[in-house]
Amino acid sequence: MRTFFNELLTQLKGIWSRLDGGQRLIVVAVLAATVVGLAGIVWYAGRPSYEAVFTASTAEEITQMQQALQREGVSYVIADDGRTFTVERAKVGVANMAIKKAGLTSTVDPQIGGASSVMDDAATKAYKLAQASIGLAERAIQGLEGVAWVKVTAFKPTRASAFRDRDGENKPSATVAMRLKPGTSFHDLARSAAAMVSSQLGIPLENVLVVSSAGNQRYRYDPDREAGGGSSEFLTMQRKLAEEKAQLAQEALDQMWPGKTTVRVTVELDPNWEITSQKVLPSEQIVKTEKTSKDTTDSTQGKNDPNANPADAIANKNKQNNETKDRTFVTEIGERRTGKMAPDIKRLTVAVLYDKSLEKDTFSNDLKKTVKSIVGWDKSRDSEEDFSLMMGEFQPFDPLAEIPSGPGFGDLALRWGPTVGQILGVIVVVMFLKGLFKRSGAKGGVAQDPLVRASAKEENLSPDEQQKKMRRDIERSIASDPAALAKLLESWLTEQKA
């Protein structure tokens, strides 16, 4: 291992020695950027992961949550909205225990399965699934604007009856308790909360009761009232119908004269509108349940006579089988609702305002006919006095402001640019170092030993140049070692004698 590092260090030194000043500056800059990028990635990956555990609705809940986490020694961070508490992922369990001790309602999504034991029986699993569904319903209601606190309790029977049983006690039901913020309408939110609980838990809407936390208001779905039997629903129906008619007329006029006309419609419905519900009885008997009981009666002759012959008693033995059937019949097979599908329009009032620049000879009459045909004017029902036209001076029409779009390319670049830049920097450094190693290896392969290069040059020299070179070598050897001259002469004389 030490040899490997020594060879690597030697190669790096060789590469560094062959680089000029500019190349060395580039290498230092790239390595510094790589180190900074890797340090940023390590810092970003090592940051603690936070999870939301509670969302406060009031200032009191914020104070209670802070005190609860401080008592347990759990560090927390408040999100940008100023009411959501987040803690480290390892401290989520401790934070949930602190929330329960403080009497607050946790906002963590309930987990369905995964944490249950394989030894749980069917009843335990059903209970856990029911609690998870209730938790999801509470979260959905908590998301409504104006809801400060909510609690849902539900009951679903484990046995399903084959026939409708109105008087039975095993009916699925649910109760929703809510605490609303000041200035929030109870009935509007109660209607939405009941619909969410019904769809989430699979409970009929008629069996869902919504109450306020103070207990002074309650709501339960009533089909007759929702169809128009209640005063508030009846007035809402009138307002919606008037808005629809005015919108249709306004859209038609805006296509021809944008910003030059205004239409207002008022609808008065007939309050004498009834919907009657009747029970439907079966035309013939339909068996709902049937129980059969059987018994045997022994009517042997002479059984109680002490003087009777046993053989005669056996001969006169008589048994009778009795069978009794107990039946219950269906008393109701459904419900029939009769009445008008919608109330009749009792009165219609229309007011049209138009700009004076549109005034022409027959403009008012044509405008009146057009609006009447759009809103559904009836001569036999409506009076001409209820339709009014008024001319005025309208302000110049201003086009609608451009709707702001979502995050553009610039925002995405600012968000993901640093990460992508760091990755590209690492790739560039790796490719640059790889090219340097290849370049150094190629140069090392081409280089040859100095003796080999000298021998190759001597082969290409002429005889005169070879003699001059030999003279220079002799002079260089004598200058470096004077005794070499005596040795050279001695060897030369020896060769001559031979």
Q: Is the predicted pLDDT of residue 295 greater than 80, yes or no?
A: no
* Phi and psi based region of residue 122 (left: phi greater than 0; alpha: psi -120 to 50; beta: remaining): alpha
Question: Phi first, then psi: what are they for 442, rounded to 5°?
Answer: -65, -40
**What is the distance between the alpha carbons of residues 370 and 298, in angstroms, rounded to a whole number?**
95
Residues 218-255: tens digit of each pLDDT: 888 877 666 544 566 778 788 889 999 999 999 998 88
Mean pLDDT of 102-116: 53
Residues 469-478: tens digit of each pLDDT: 777 877 777 7
> What pLDDT sits at residue 349?
93
Q: What CA–CA distances, in Å, run from 240 to 37, 188, 230, 235, 441? A: 61, 16, 15, 9, 85
Do 249 and 265 touch, CB atoms closer than 8 A? yes
**What is the distance between the alpha carbons of residues 386 and 379, in angstroms, rounded to a whole number?**
11
Going from the N-terminus, what domains does the chain have, and what CATH number goes with each?
Answer: 1-47+418-447 (no CATH), 50-231 (3.30.300.30), 232-274+339-392 (3.30.300.30), 450-497 (no CATH)
**What is the distance between the alpha carbons of residues 236 and 341, in angstroms, rounded to a whole number?**
16
Residues 303-318: tens digit of each pLDDT: 555 665 665 555 555 6
Handedness of CA 10, 15, 17, 22 (dihedral sign): negative
Q: Which two tokens stand for residue 7?
A: 């060879």
pTM: 0.34
Residues 327-351: tens digit of each pLDDT: 888 887 778 878 777 788 989 999 9
Q: Which helix (H) or strand (E) holds 298?
A: strand 287-298
Report the chain's mean pLDDT, rounded to a whole number.
76
Q: Where are the beta strands (DSSP E) in 305-432?
A: 319-329, 334-339, 345-355, 387-392
Mean pLDDT of 366-375: 90
Residues 252-271: tens digit of each pLDDT: 988 888 888 899 999 998 88
DSSP state at residue 461: S
Nearest to 384 by CA among 367, 366, 372: 372
